[in-house]
A = this chain, B = another copy of it.
């Protein structure tokens, strides 16, 4: 048996501890599959004495930023998180020490992934991040290698388990966002400060990485149009259901003729689409390739076990000698994505207004639609909104998003509207 691959782990939180447990539990199997044992030799974490369910004193303990300097270490796995600070310092130090680097850190990759990948190419070391997107689902590998023969026309998916848990719980229980979020926080499914998840930022980090891999373009997190799920009402979910749809937070990137469109927003997904059946904290990714057609991947997007599974898959690849470019091709080969005109995008839309209960409201809204060239497919006026108004829901025929925005702008100052309207695209693929 060849020499073991020696790993230093930065971070012994849930994910780091999961990596230790996984390598302890599956050591023999991993050695058979990797062709050599994988051995954790050093760790960095804040608290050496904390009970993590295994003996951590057997590892050499060091400051995170010095892990790469430890003699004999082949790979550093960064499981600290945060786009800057220690994680970034460690990434740079590891690569410049000529060692392989593995991370689960989507924020750091979204912001600094290209620069790090360039450094890794120069140093000739592996830089891998399967765990950064969709947890245990091998979707980075699936896009970078499995679908590599295809021109990808679009990639989209459910990339944040917290949001999907909240939306599918709202759906199952008919309750509103705030109440379900509070429960999720109490259960530990959502952070005390949930903004990163529920405002779509985490999903946007992941989407920007998927887009780069899919389209051979530079990561462009700054241009992901991002909105979260705070504005979704239980009433939206009920109306969508009546129309044959479910509401999901969908991160979506597509190649238009004039550039790339990247968005993270709540969407209506037809019940016939596999994304409609992704429940709870699961994640899923769909890619459309010009030869393979639609590929769908589903699995656990977070948590100790699934994330550790992805981290160790990267370590096994490295043990097998794989040193391919991090973004499927050298960074210098990645194209500038360009910004497509999102307003020109054709699609169908769901619009929900909370309106005052008085005559003429319907005429005002339908006139605004007509003036903007938006053709209405269905219209439902029903029930009480939380703020005392009436919910008015409509779906449009296919039209340019700019037309719908035009109609909303025209209605902007209207006294008929109680609160802001909610616009959701209908996934039509």
Contact = CB atoms under 8 A, between A and B. Distances in A.
Interface of A: 18, 22, 25-26, 29-30, 32-35, 130, 136-138, 141-142, 144-151, 216, 274, 277, 289-300, 305-306, 308-313, 315-317, 320, 322, 324-325, 328-330, 333
A299 B290 contact: no
Contact of A149 (B22, B142, B144, B291): B22
A142 B145 contact: no
Contact of A145 (B291, B297, B313): B313
Nearest to A311: B149
A295 B142 CA distance: 13
15 contacts: A18-B291, A22-B149, A33-B329, A35-B329, A137-B146, A137-B295, A141-B141, A149-B313, A274-B277, A277-B277, A289-B309, A292-B309, A293-B305, A293-B306, A296-B296
Given A35-B325, A138-B147, 17 more contacts: A29-B151, A32-B216, A33-B216, A138-B145, A141-B142, A149-B312, A274-B277, A291-B305, A292-B300, A293-B300, A293-B306, A294-B299, A296-B296, A296-B298, A296-B299, A297-B297, A298-B298
B306 A292 contact: yes
Nearest to A329: B32
B313 A148 contact: yes
A299 B293 CA distance: 7
A228 to B, nearest CB: 26
Smallest CB-CB A-B distances: 3 pairs: A138-B146, A149-B312, A292-B309
Given A148-B313, A313-B145, A317-B145, A297 B296 contact: yes
A182 to B, nearest CB: 27
A26 B292 contact: no
B292 A305 contact: yes
Nearest to A30: B149
Contact of A141 (B146, B151, B289, B300): B146
Contacts of A138: 141-142, 145-147, 295
A34 to B, nearest CB: 7
A200 B330 CA distance: 44
Contact of A324 (B22, B141, B320, B329): B320
B216 A29 contact: yes
A231 to B, nearest CB: 29
A300 B295 CA distance: 8
B295 A295 contact: no
Contacts of A298: 274, 295-298
B136 A292 contact: yes
A294 to B, nearest CB: 6
Contacts of A320: 324
A200 to B, nearest CB: 24
A137 B295 CA distance: 7
Contact of A290 (B25, B290, B297): B25
